């Protein structure tokens, strides 16, 4: 295919000789690359970043190792230039193709993620520096000039600022000497962006279990080759210490390591530990970096200088020069699933990336996902278990609080037994975590007179009151408004009332019951920068706060030695939705929250408030029986042919015009393939029937594991013509069913 062009008559056509053409993939959702001519003086190889004309624009793409097409000479346009950046490695190119094929996206849309930093493809600006000119013209000497020349008499070129401070001279002195030709300008290569971590630094002395796991990982890293190892262990069992050994092994080989963490922006404690172990900070990669940081990091990863990258999902698409291992910490975490744009699961794609690069992958978790657990059972993945907490610290005892009998007072959410346990903990000078996975003050606001509920104008969702911000917010689209004074339905004034608790409301109850206790809110609206996360961690570690009220952001990976009581305010919250992974997700989250209690020498306690004390998830949690839970859950899923025992693809049809969306959904329903192997459910209004003003209908495609479900769906969608204004998104292995 030649790129579309309205002005092709103006460009000079390149002669159509074979070998003088290349395929260039552009970071746009456009098929599989275009054919361009190669000017005689340009020698191009696959992976080279090039500038090419596309219509009236110039765009950057990558030379792709696919046969160029026969484009008539008159239509062929030429590559404009090769950009001065290291080529996109072969593995990265194969990875782009693989991710696109599996997730039913275009190559170009995936390439876009691998080319997220256009500035990194340009040469880095060198730093202006000075040396003493070899043959200076005659000039007037002063004391200050003398000092400057003395400084420059020895050593390499230095920046004006460095010279000024070493010589104790003003900037004008240096400028004067440069203007007079006594100093010559020199370009200084920019300093390396990242220092090499000290892999030889002594790590902790490992326990026997830890040692066995670490040795196996190091052996894999050194021998190379693909394989997946699961490191499973209770919170605090030293999983991080173990995989850091694998990172050290990669460093020792002179290679790179990637560690993927959920919510990396907030992992202040992890970064501290890395620095304590290896002496320097790793390169970090997440969406909150500045443009300069992104540029430097991308480039340093590409030329192999950044040796350890710790990152979020998108770090998978960095152009690693010689990656030796990928570790995915908290592999079960749902935030590895990207739900917008190219929809993919970064945990699964990390395994693919490792396979393509012929390197080991490490999946780390206290509560394996069912997918990972099945892969261990079937022998596809190796497995190491760390069954005990480091240093003999005991696991917390988890008790159920039956809210049907242990009732809180009206308008309150803490049961008498939880309040009692909090009192005792504070009296002992220890800390408490109250966990409620609900931001804001109240999840629902309604009119006392007529029952009208305040809803988002753009989504099928209630507005959540955020009292600290003085706003009502939609958690799906970000819509925000002040609370109205009058009800739009019955015109009653000042009759709105908050229903149910969010963390802010819980903070109110706590302040009323424990006025002397220092409490802090840990929610993503407040702890929204790495600096704030660091400050939160510090204030807890230094015991400036006695009580933390938090959502899931406090569930992950933190160690607070003085925290001995965790109160789960509403253990049933995640079980309500009833989607495929509701039980699994709730188990993982609450197990992890429970793991925050009692580290070091102090044993911890967890109280779980529930109205469903007999629910299998609650029972498994109270017995600490994660294997039993996984088995029961696997049985259920297997019976229903659900993942990981069957395959699912979600299809979302959406648009602003409801009738068009319905018509398109019906058309798809009519053309749905009928076969015994593939079952198609829908179309049905999505649970979020309207999102950001778009109407949504859903299909769920279900098939056995041996069926190439992507191929079936592709065929179906390709053979159904739909109006342009309707968007069809495919979600392979869906996690969200909204």
- Specify the residue, 210 or 473, whose C-beta has the smaller distance to ligand ADP: 210
Residues in binding contact with ligand ADP, number by CB under 6 A = 15
Binding mask 221-260 for ligand ADP (x = CB under 6 A): ------------x-xxxxxxx-------------------
Residue 262 as a binder of ligand ADP (CB under 6 A): the answer is: no
Q: Which of 273, 340, 308 is nearest to 727 (CA)?
A: 340
Residue 654 as a binder of ligand ADP (CB under 6 A): the answer is: no
Cα 108 from chain centre: 21
Smallest gap from residue 696 Cβ to Zn ion (A): 13
Q: Which one of ligand ADP, Zn ion, none interacts with residue 350, CB within 5 to 8 A by kind?
A: none
Q: Is 498 helix (H, G, I), strand (E, B) or coil?
A: strand
Smallest gap from residue 363 Cβ to ligand ADP (A): 13
Smallest gap from residue 483 Cβ to Zn ion (A): 16
Which residues contribute to the site for Zn ion (CB under 5 A)?
A: 456, 458-459, 474, 476-477, 479
Smallest gap from residue 247 Cβ to ligand ADP (A): 13
Smallest gap from residue 437 Cβ to ligand ADP (A): 20
Smallest gap from residue 262 Cβ to ligand ADP (A): 13
Q: HSE-up of 69 (CA within 13 Å, CB side)?
A: 13
Q: Which one of Zn ion, ligand ADP, none interacts with residue 206, CB within 5 to 8 A by kind?
A: ligand ADP
Give the H/E segment covering residue 583: helix 582-594
Q: Which one of ligand ADP, Zn ion, none interacts with residue 476, CB within 5 to 8 A by kind?
A: Zn ion
Q: Which one of Zn ion, ligand ADP, none interacts with residue 637, CB within 5 to 8 A by kind?
A: none
Residue 388 as a binder of ligand ADP (CB under 6 A): the answer is: no
Q: Please report the sign of the dihedral spanned by the C-alpha atoms of residue 422, residue 426, residue 428, residue 434.
A: positive
- Specify the residue, 313 or 596, whose C-beta has the smaller distance to ligand ADP: 596
Contact residues for 369 (Cβ-Cβ < 8 A; gap 6+):
331, 332, 347, 584, 588
Binding residue (CB under 6 A) for ligand ADP from 210, 334, 415, 610: 210
Q: Say if strands 308-311 and 283-285 run parallel, antiparallel, or are unpaired.
A: parallel
Contact 518, 544 (CB under 8 A): yes
- Specify the residue, 48 or 329, whose C-beta has the smaller distance to ligand ADP: 329
Contact 732, 649 (CB under 8 A): yes
- Specify the residue, 107 or 274, whose C-beta has the smaller distance to ligand ADP: 274
Smallest gap from residue 446 Cβ to ligand ADP (A): 42
Task: Round to whole Å and give the CA distance between 235 and 398.
Answer: 14
- Specify the residue, 461 or 571, whose C-beta has the smaller distance to Zn ion: 461
Task: Round to whole Å and give the CA distance between 331 and 556.
Answer: 12
Q: Please report the sign of the dihedral spanned by the C-alpha atoms of residue 438, residue 442, residue 445, residue 451.
A: positive
Residue 68 as a binder of ligand ADP (CB under 6 A): the answer is: no
- Specify the residue, 18 or 205, whose C-beta has the smaller distance to ligand ADP: 205
Smallest gap from residue 388 Cβ to ligand ADP (A): 10
Binding residue (CB under 6 A) for ligand ADP from 559, 602, 692, 714: 559
Q: Which one of Zn ion, ligand ADP, none interacts with residue 210, CB within 5 to 8 A by kind?
A: ligand ADP
How is residue 677 written in tokens? Answer: 């192997």
Residue 369 as a binder of ligand ADP (CB under 6 A): the answer is: no
Smallest gap from residue 142 Cβ to ligand ADP (A): 58
Smallest gap from residue 597 Cβ to ligand ADP (A): 13
How is residue 511 written in tokens? Answer: 């302040």
In three-state form (DSSP H/G/I as H, E/B as E, the rest C), the secondary structure along 621-666 is: HHCCCHHHHHHHHHHHHHHHCCCCCEEEEEEEEEECCHHHHHHHHH
Task: Round to whole Å and give the CA distance between 622 and 400.
Answer: 7
Contact 558, 537 (CB under 8 A): yes
Q: Which one of ligand ADP, Zn ion, none interacts with residue 431, CB within 5 to 8 A by kind?
A: none
Give the H/E segment covering residue 328: strand 323-329
Contact 29, 110 (CB under 8 A): no
- Specify the residue, 171 or 200, whose C-beta has the smaller distance to ligand ADP: 200
Smallest gap from residue 738 Cβ to Zn ion (A): 12
Contact 350, 326 (CB under 8 A): yes
How is residue 361 written in tokens? Answer: 């992958």
Q: Which one of ligand ADP, Zn ion, none interacts with residue 439, CB within 5 to 8 A by kind?
A: none
Task: Round to whole Å and give the CA distance between 716 and 693.
Answer: 27
Spatial strand order of the sheet with 360-365 comes to: 283-285, 308-311, 256-260, 323-329, 360-365, 227-233, 382-386
Q: Which one of Zn ion, ligand ADP, none interacts with residue 204, CB within 5 to 8 A by kind?
A: ligand ADP
Binding mask 190-209 for ligand ADP (x = CB under 6 A): --------------xxxx--
Residue 51 as a binder of ligand ADP (CB under 6 A): the answer is: no
Binding mask 479-518 for ligand ADP (x = CB under 6 A): ----------------------------------------
Smallest gap from residue 698 Cβ to Zn ion (A): 18
Contact residues for 43 (Cβ-Cβ < 8 A; gap 6+):
none
Smallest gap from residue 392 Cβ to ligand ADP (A): 11
Task: Round to whole Å and give the CA distance between 10 and 419.
Answer: 79
Binding residue (CB under 6 A) for ligand ADP from 332, 347, 390, 562: 390
Q: Which one of Zn ion, ligand ADP, none interacts with residue 78, CB within 5 to 8 A by kind?
A: none
For 189, other C-beta atoms within 10 Å of its C-beta total 10
Rg (CA), the chain: 30
Task: Round to whole Å and give the CA distance between 556 and 634.
Answer: 25
> What is the per-residue burial (b if ≥16 Cβ within 10 Å, else e) of 574-611?
bbeeeebbebbbbbbbbbbbbbbbbbbeeebbbbbbbe
- Specify the residue, 207 or 425, whose C-beta has the smaller distance to ligand ADP: 207
Orientation angle between helical segments 709-718 and 658-671, nearest 10 degrees: 120
Smallest gap from residue 330 Cβ to ligand ADP (A): 9
> Residues in the site for ligand ADP, rule: CB under 6 A?
204-207, 210, 233, 235-241, 390, 559
């Amino acid at each position: 295919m030649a790129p579309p062009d309205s002005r092709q008559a103006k460009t000079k056509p390149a002669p159509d000789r074979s070998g003088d053409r290349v395929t260039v993939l552009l970071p746009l959702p456009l098929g599989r690359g275009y054919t361009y001519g190669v000017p005689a003086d340009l020698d191009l190889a696959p992976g080279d970043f090039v500038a090419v004309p596309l219509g009236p624009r110039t765009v950057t793409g990558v030379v792709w190792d696919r046969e160029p097409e026969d484009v008539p000479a008159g239509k062929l346009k030429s590559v404009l230039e090769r950009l001065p950046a290291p080529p996109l490695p072969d593995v990265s190119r194969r990875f782009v193709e693989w991710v696109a094929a599996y997730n039913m996206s275009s190559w170009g849309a995936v390439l876009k993620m691998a080319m997220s930093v256009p500035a990194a493809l340009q040469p880095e600006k060198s730093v202006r520096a000075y040396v003493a000119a070899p043959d200076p013209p005659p000039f007037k000497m002063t004391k200050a000039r003398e000092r400057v020349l003395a400084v420059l008499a020895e050593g390499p070129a230095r920046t004006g600022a460095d010279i000024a401070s070493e010589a104790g001279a003003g900037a004008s002195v240096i400028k004067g000497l440069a203007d007079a030709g006594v100093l010559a300008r020199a370009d200084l290569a920019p300093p390396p962006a990242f220092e090499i971590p000290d892999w030889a630094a002594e790590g902790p002395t490992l326990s026997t279990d830890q040692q066995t796991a670490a040795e196996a990982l190091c052996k894999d890293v050194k021998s190379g080759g693909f394989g997946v190892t699961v490191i499973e262990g209770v919170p605090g069992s030293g999983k991080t210490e173990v995989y850091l050994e694998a990172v050290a092994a990669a460093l020792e080989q002179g290679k790179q390591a990637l560690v993927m963490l959920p919510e990396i922006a907030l992992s202040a404690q992890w970064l501290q530990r890395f620095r304590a172990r290896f002496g320097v900070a790793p390169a970090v990669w997440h969406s909150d970096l500045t443009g300069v940081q992104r540029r430097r990091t991308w480039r340093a990863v590409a030329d192999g200088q950044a040796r350890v990258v710790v990152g979020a999902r998108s770090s998978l698409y960095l152009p690693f020069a010689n990656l030796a291992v990928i570790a995915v910490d908290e592999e079960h975490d749902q935030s590895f699933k990207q739900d917008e744009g190219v929809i993919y699961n970064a945990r699964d794609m990390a395994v693919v990336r490792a396979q393509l690069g012929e390197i080991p992958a490490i999946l780390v978790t206290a509560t394996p996902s069912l997918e990972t657990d099945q892969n261990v059972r079937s022998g596809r993945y190796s497995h190491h278990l760390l069954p005990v907490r480091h240093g003999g610290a005991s696991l917390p005892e988890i008790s159920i609080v039956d809210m049907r009998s242990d009732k809180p007072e009206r308008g309150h959410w803490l049961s008498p037994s939880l309040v009692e346990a909090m009192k005792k903990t504070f009296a002992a000078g220890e800390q408490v975590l109250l966990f409620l996975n609900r931001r804001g003050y109240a999840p629902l606001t309604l009119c006392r007179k007529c029952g009208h509920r305040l809803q988002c104008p753009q989504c099928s969702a209630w507005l959540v009151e955020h009292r600290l911000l003085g706003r009502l917010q939609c958690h799906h689209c970000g819509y925000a408004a002040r609370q109205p004074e009058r009800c739009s339905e019955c015109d009653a004034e000042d009759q709105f009332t908050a229903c149910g608790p969010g963390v802010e409301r819980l903070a109110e109850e706590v302040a009323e019951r424990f006025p002397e206790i220092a409490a802090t809110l840990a929610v993503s609206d407040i702890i929204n920068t790495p600096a704030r996360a660091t400050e939160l961690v510090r204030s807890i570690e230094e015991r400036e706060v006695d009580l933390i009220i938090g959502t899931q952001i406090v569930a992950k990976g933190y160690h607070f030695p003085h925290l001995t009581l965790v109160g789960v305010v509403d253990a049933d919250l995640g079980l309500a939705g009833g989607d495929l992974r509701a039980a699994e997700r709730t188990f993982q989250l609450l197990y992890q929250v429970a793991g925050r209690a009692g580290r070091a020498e102090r044993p911890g306690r967890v109280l779980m408030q529930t109205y469903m004390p007999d629910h299998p998830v609650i029972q498994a949690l109270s017995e600490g029986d994660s294997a039993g839970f996984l088995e029961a859950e696997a049985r259920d899923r297997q019976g229903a042919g659900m993942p990981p025992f069957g395959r699912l693809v979600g299809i979302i049809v959406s648009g602003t015009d409801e009738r068009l969306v319905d018509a398109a959904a019906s058309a798809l329903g009519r053309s749905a393939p009928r076969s015994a192997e593939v079952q198609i459910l829908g179309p049905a209004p999505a649970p979020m029937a309207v999102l950001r003003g778009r109407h949504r209908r859903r299909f769920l495609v279900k098939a056995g594991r041996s069926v190439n479900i992507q191929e079936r769906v592709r065929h179906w969608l390709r053979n159904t013509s739909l109006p342009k204004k309707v968007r069809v998104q495919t979600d392979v292995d869906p996690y969200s069913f909204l």
